[in-house]
Each structure stands twice: as structure tokens, then as C-alpha cells.
Structure 1
């Protein structure tokens, strides 16, 4: 219809018969028809804009509402349902409800978006991803094949592998080496990407070191036998990342699972510090680490170190549930 109208208009304005008639009446007729045509087109355009414009504010409001809802944390009912079905599963090795609740409570109070770093791909991996709704969640695992498989099965999960070179049986020597190098390679505040500290993880993708992590969960690597990697590196790295934050919240929540074991308890006390521990269960310890000055060379206060030295040996078997 638009093409036909345009063609007719051109015929009216440019028709040879009208052009040949040079009388005043014909000229007035030509002017009148031209004016009527232009007025009709202007009215049509204005009417079209008037019809469409009222819907635009509604679309913008709807888009803003959707955007705002996306930034909200999961409702408590959804969180409770997720936790319920995880702990009710038939999988043998999974966290108990009190331990999961510590992580869930921290994530719920975290500002959106929340940056959540997890050492270990476990039975709870998809739960952690879901609980940190709209946040950034990154997983680090010792098994490159499992990490690749997990990402293939769950493309929404961001996982990387790390090749640990430590052994749980070497814990005492490795902790001692950190103390000797606390003013050099093993500083509490540094960019681990360029570190040569034996316990520093420096082979993650570069962008991982640029993120200001709000919550770090240490639930890997494995440490059940002497030749297992142990969690010395992941606990040390968590402590350094927390103290080395450049922006965001000045505090980082570091949660260590299997805290009843020697490696987790000793390294937690050495690199996260008892003075920073705010909650614990039989299996879990929750620390809050403050951002530190670049010239800091001690992980913990002297009082904390004395308490750690005088502490009785940690249990090496899992407590009864």
C-alpha cells in the first residue's frame, strides 16, 4: 500500500497533463493537492509515533524490573530446598547440614555480585554455584580430566586444574620454609602469579589473580594419605589472596573443610590465624581475613603464634557424626 500511494502521489504531482496546463486554476489545484499530500503524510507519521511511544516506557520499566530481580539473592525457601536435597542424597561423601549452612549463610550475606573461589570439585559443586546466584564462582581442582569432564557436563561451571607438587607428609618442612621466606617469596601480601614460594599456587589463569575474592572455600585437594597433595598450598594461597585484595570489601571469608585433620588445622592456624576464626564445627572452620598493608611480613600476631605452638596435636581421624 505504501508503494502504491507513493506512485499515485508522483503521478499527481508530475502528471504531464497538469504540467502542460499553465493556467492559474491548474497551478492552484497543484498547490492544493501537494499541500494535502504533505499534510496527510505528516499526520500519518505523527500518529504512528503516538501509537508506539506509550509502550516504550512500559518496556523500559519491565526491563529494569527484570534487571533488578536478577541482582537479588535466591529466596530463603529456594536455598533451604537446595540444601535439603543435597544432604538427603545417597552420595556417601558429602557435607553435613551444619557445615553447608556456614557456607550458605556467608554467601547469603555477601553483596551481589559475590566473587566465590572454591578449591575442590565435590558433591556440593552445583550447590555452591546455585547458592552464589548472579555471582562469580570459580572452581580449582587437582584432576585435569575431571575438571574438563565436569565443565563438559555443566557448561555453566567455570573450573580450572592445578598440578600440586606437595605431599601431605611434607607439611612441617613446607610450613617452615614459608616462615623463612615470609619477607621474600612467601610474603603475606603479593601477586602470586609471579611468586616462587613453594606453597603459592601460581599457575592459574592470569585473570583469577586479578579478582577480589569475597569468599574462598578450601575443600581440596585430597589429603587423606601421606602422598596426597594436602591442602597446605590452597590454604596458604587463600590467605595471600585475602590479604592482597585491591578493591571490593576489605574482608574475605575463608572457610576450611576437614579442619579436624593435621594439615588443615596447622595450616589454618599458621596462614589464616586463630585470631581471625569466627565460627567452627567439628569439620569446618570459618575465618575472616582483613586486607593487609603491602609491607606486612607476618601472617598472624605473636600471640596467635604462641598459642599455636602450645596447642595440643590435632585429631587425625574424622569425628563421629
Structure 2
């Protein structure tokens, strides 16, 4: 914009210089007549002065002969300059109008609330996903309950899912107006899913826990509940053994509305288990800085002893709003940064936090 203004100013100055130059030439022509009678008389006077004294110098004045057509060229140049100036002004005005229109349209789109996916479409997706030939898929009852939670989530909804499963595309589709992030233990499978489905946002994480170490890990959290394993903290800088701190930095700045724990694997002693996923979900929910103060945390395979015990310790029974055969639904609220206990009515956690 500044370069265009300088260019326009230069053109105007150039036109002014040409105009004054032409005017000066025209005035000089009037001051010095070019008729032959005037020239002969003028030369005779000079010769007479030369005869009076030898010291007198002969001065010859050649009248300014204006070239024909200079005035026409000036006006042609002025006309071209005027057209150039008009073109530049039109270009600037059109560009600013387009920018203003784009900003207005973007503001309108942003301010307009996007409705959630219709119930009919959601039910159809759940129906076909639950009737798959895959034997590892989630039950229709569990899918339906999670779909209902996503339907009620304010848009845009931030959904965090631990585990890449048969239902991955279902969760992505149900939350199509919001952001859905998947965390998986297998980096090769995460890369495969992202390559096959570019719209899916997936990250891999390395779990350092073992299912057989559940009791020791929970005891370690109780010992460090006022330090590294606080219920309210930024896990990016945490050294708690159950906390996940090697995810992208932006991950810890998102206010998650719904968190689904459906991974990692936990069916044999050497498997990582879901202790870290459940603990991380509890800290993320309590450490929210904005958005809805409540976070829905859903734990699949809630019937497994390890998952239920870990949920009781960090998600807490007083926050359990729905319990089905294989799904536990908790609603956690944002907590104060000076809170040092996960559950209000948990005797063991409360006692350890007060010591």
C-alpha cells in the first residue's frame, strides 16, 4: 500500500514539472518575439554600438524556437498519467473491498454456531458400527451412550480418545464440528491410520507402565500427591510415573470436553494397562483453564478390575454418573490449583494428602 502511494505521488510531481516547464517555455516565447523585422532592427542596433567603441562586445541572442507538437505531447503524456493514476486508485479500492468482504464473511461464519450432527445420522452410524463383523467392536449400548454424550457437547467440542480402535472413524464422524485427537501406543499403527485417513489426528505415546505394577504405581501417586503427582498441574513438566508428558506441547493447552479411555491394552501382566491414561485424563479434566468447567470422562472395559480400581482412585466414585456392564461415565469439575486430593470421600487418598 505504501509503495502505491509513493508511486502515485511521483506521477503527480512529474505531471506538475511538465506543466510548469511548458508554461515557462510559452512565457519565454512571448518575451522574445521571433519576427524577422524585430531581428533585423535588433542586429542593426548592435552593429551601431560596435562602431562606437571597439571594447563593446557583440552579444547575439537567438530566440527560443518552440518545437511544434510539444504541447500535444504534453497533453498526451498528461492523459496517459491520468489513466495510470485512475487504474492504481481503482486497484487499491478493489483490493481493500475484497479484504473487507473476506473479513466480514469470516466473522459471520465464526460467530454462527454450528449445529451438532442430527440424531438420525448419529443413530445410523452407531447402528452400522455395532453390526460390524469385527469381534472386537464396542457394544451398541456403549456406543449409543458415548454418542449421546457427544450430541450434548457444546460446539465446537474437544474430544480426546485413548486408543485407536474399530470405532475411531465413528468418533471422528460424530464430532465432525469439533476437534478429535487419538492417542495410541503403537506408532506404526498411528502412522498407518493418519496416512489412510488424513482427516484423523493421531499421536503415538510410549507407556512405561506394566499392568502387574498397578498397586505400586497407585501408592507412588499417593506419596507424591503434593509434588509431582498433583491433581492440578501441567503434565508437560511433570515427573509423575503415571503422567504422560511426551505429547506435543499444544496437547496440554487444550480444554478437553470429553475424554474416552479405550486404550492401551491391558489383558496380560506385561501389558501397559490403562492406569496412565486414566490418571492423565483426571489431571487434564481438573486442570482446565477455560471452556466448560465440567469434563466427561468415559472408561471402556470398566468391568476390568484394574480399570475400575484406577478409576475409583483418580476419577472418584462421587463423580460416577453412569455405570454399565463395560462402560463407566464420570463427570469431573475444574479444581483449584491448591487442591491436593483427587477424591473428597476417599479415605486413603485424603489421609495420604494430609500427611
Q: The TM-score by the shorter chain falls in which range?
A: 0.7 to 0.9
Instruction: Verify the 8 A CA contact 2:315 2:332 in the aligned structure 1.
Output: yes
Aligned match of 1:235: 278
Distance across 2 between alignment mates of 1:68 and 1:91: 41
- Within the candidate set 253, 261, 279, 2:304 is matched to 261
Whether the aligned pair in 2 keeps the contact of 1:70 and 1:134 (CA below 8 Å) is: no
CA distance in 2, matches of 1:226, 1:110: 36
- Distance, in Å, in 1 between the alignment partners of 2:104 and 2:243 is 48
SS at match of 1:90: coil
| Equivalent position SS for 1:289 | strand
- Asked whether the equivalents of residues 256 and 285 of structure 2 are also in contact (C-alpha less than 8 Å), the reply is yes
Matched, 1:217 2:260: yes
| Structure 1: unaligned runs, 5 residues or longer | 1-58, 308-321
Using a 3 Å threshold, how does the CA distance of structure 1 residues 202 and 77 change in structure 2: closer, same or farther? same
Q: Secondary structure at the match of 2:217?
A: helix
Runs ≥4 residues deviating over 3 A: 59-70, 304-307
Shift of 1:219: 0.3
**Residues in 1 aligned to 2:341 and 2:108: alpha-carbon distance in whole angstroms:** 48
1:132 aligns with 2:181: no
Range that drifts further, 95-104 or 115-124: 95-104
Cα RMSD over matched residues? 3.8
Q: Structure 1 residues 64, 237: CA separation in 2 closer, same or farther (over 3 Å shift)?
A: closer
Partners of 1:214 and 1:120 in 2: how far apart? 17
Do structure 1's residue 95 and structure 2's residue 95 form an aligned pair? no
Gaps of 5+ in 2: 1-101, 350-355
Residue 305 of structure 1 deviates from its aligned partner by 3.8
Matches within 5 A, 1:278-293: 278-293=321-336
Cα offset, 1:178, TM superposition = 0.2
Distance 1:255 1:66 in 2: 32
Contact 2:164–2:182 under 8 Å retained in 1:
yes
Instruction: Tell me the equivalent position of 1:84.
Output: 127
TM-score by length of 1: 0.75
Q: Rg larger in 1 or in 2?
A: 2
Aligned residues: 288
Deviations 1:128-158 (A, max 9, x none): 0000121000000000000000000000000
Contact kept, 8 Å, 2:123 with 2:144, in 1: the verdict is: no
Does structure 1 residue 116 correspond to structure 2 residue 159?
yes
